[in-house]
Amino acid sequence: MTNNNTIINTTSDTLEAKIEALKDLEAFAEEVKQEIDSLKDCIKAEMLAQDTDEMTVGKYIVRWTSVLSNRFDSTTFKREHADMYKQYTKQTSSRRFSIA
């Protein structure tokens, strides 16, 4: 007969191992992201030095262009039209996953 505490401990140990693996992978992903950002910054610096927004490097075409977009300024709208903001705001529900 299996002891319930043994089952709980085994499950807890398994979950703890998964959480540790997750934490390790997240740390690795952050390191990789930083390396990616660093490489992009080096390429951008070279493009700035050459005063260009497009260049051909071997088989690659690299573009670093300005993009204009229009975005709704909800902060200002909320401040200046609070009643209307409330009228068109709807509450949503979501779930947040975190490990402390």
What pLDDT does residue 11 have? 84
79-93: pLDDT as tens digits:
999 999 999 999 999
Say whether pLDDT at 49 is over 90. Answer: yes
User: What b/e string do you get for 36-65 counting C-beta neighbours within 10 Å, with b at 16 or more?
Assistant: eeeeeeeeeeebeeeeeeeeeeeeeeeeee
Q: How much of the chain exceeds pLDDT 70, in percent?
A: 92
22-45: pLDDT as tens digits:
999 999 999 999 999 999 999 999
Say whether pLDDT at 5 is over 80. Answer: no
What pLDDT does residue 13 have? 86
pTM: 0.71
Amino acid at 71: R
Q: Residue 47: CB partners within 8 Å, gap ≥ 6?
A: 53, 55, 62, 64
